[in-house]
Structure 1
């Protein structure tokens, strides 16, 4: 087996794992009961799935110059998705659109009571 074939198999495995994580994130968005759980499943597996898919594509496109674009896409997603989820979660909390019975520890309520 040549080096190119080994890299192709690694790329296939990474692409399949990334697709599986992205599919799991989609299922979680439909199946989880509240907004905060959905925000979690929309952010974490989605980013990891994107990273795995991008690394798999990068292995397939290795000598090509478009690998830099994949890196920028991943970097932008890593920087923006957690921040957007955090802001959406805080807005939902402050407007009362969350299910408080599903929260185990509520540290934000303690901070808001102090202010």
Structure 2
């Protein structure tokens, strides 16, 4: 039974690490601020969940696991709010999103 719990915890930890690394790659890959924040914030919540779930499985049901669950709840509540506040403040200070248009839309605008 401990082998199964250890295997599940390592799978959760690896998934969390993969999501964290993919969010970091998204920050460097995308060229626009809003895309970068979106890549980081979406992967952040799942990354926290999987890493904390792996740690809860490793610790068993103790006071440590209760604290980890409280940390997950706190991060799930604050991380989207912080991302929203960051994007909203960037928008209000004048950083407009870059909207890409297709060639057909550009051609239609040139004709009218």
Identify the TM-score tier after normalising by the shorter chain. 0.7 to 0.9
CA contact (8 A) 1:34 1:98 kept: no
Residue 97 of structure 1 and its aligned partner are, at CA, apart by: 1.6
Partner of 1:20: 18
Q: 5 Å matches for 1:19-58?
A: 19-58=17-56
Residue 34 of structure 1 and its aligned partner are, at CA, apart by: 1.0
- Give the RMSD, CA atoms, in angstroms: 1.5
| 2:56 maps to 1:62 | no
Residue 98 of structure 1 and its aligned partner are, at CA, apart by: 3.2
Q: In 2, distance between residues paired with 1:30 and 1:77?
A: 23
Partner of 2:72: 74
Residue 40 of structure 1 and its aligned partner are, at CA, apart by: 0.9
Change (3 A) 1:102 1:85: farther
Residue 44 of structure 1 and its aligned partner are, at CA, apart by: 1.2
CA contact (8 A) 2:27 2:36 kept: yes
Runs of 4+ in structure 1 over 3 Å off: none
Structure 2 stretches lacking a partner, 5+ long? 102-112
The higher radius of gyration belongs to 2
Q: In 1, distance between residues paired with 2:98 and 2:62?
A: 50
Q: In 2, distance between residues paired with 1:88 and 1:98?
A: 13
Using the size of structure 1 for normalisation, the TM-score is: 0.81
CA contact (8 A) 2:12 2:51 kept: yes
Using the size of structure 2 for normalisation, the TM-score is: 0.83
